[in-house]
Amino acid sequence: MSTEKEKMLSGARYTPADPELRAMSTLAHRRCQEYNRYDAAEYEAKASLLKQLIPHQGKDLYIEAPFFCDYGVNIAIGDHVFFNFNCTILDTMRVTIGHHCMFGPGVQIYTPLHPMKAAERNTGLEYAQEVTIGDNVWVGGNVTILPGVHIGNNCVIGAGSVVTKDVPPDSFAAGNPARVIRTIQQ
Distance CA 165, CA 153 (A): 15
At 34 the pLDDT is 97
DSSP assigned state of 59: S
What are the catalytic residues?
Answer: 114
What is the DSSP track for 80-100? SEEE-SSEEEE-SS-EEE-SS
* CATH T-level topology, domain 4-183: UDP N-Acetylglucosamine Acyltransferase; domain 1 (2.160.10)
Q: Nearest to residue 109, comparing CAs of 136, 117, 120, 137?
A: 137
How many whole angstroms separate alpha carbon 133 and alpha carbon 144? 13
Query: What per-residue confidence (pLDDT) applies to 1?
Result: 64
Would you mind telling me the total number of residues written for the chain in this entry? 186
Model confidence, pTM: 0.96
Q: Going residue by residue through the chain (186 aa), what tens digit of pLDDT does each one get? A: 699 999 999 999 999 999 999 999 999 999 999 999 999 899 999 999 999 999 999 999 999 999 999 999 999 999 999 999 999 999 999 999 999 999 999 999 999 999 999 999 999 999 999 999 999 999 999 999 999 999 999 999 999 999 999 999 999 999 999 999 999 998
Domain ranges of the chain: 4-183
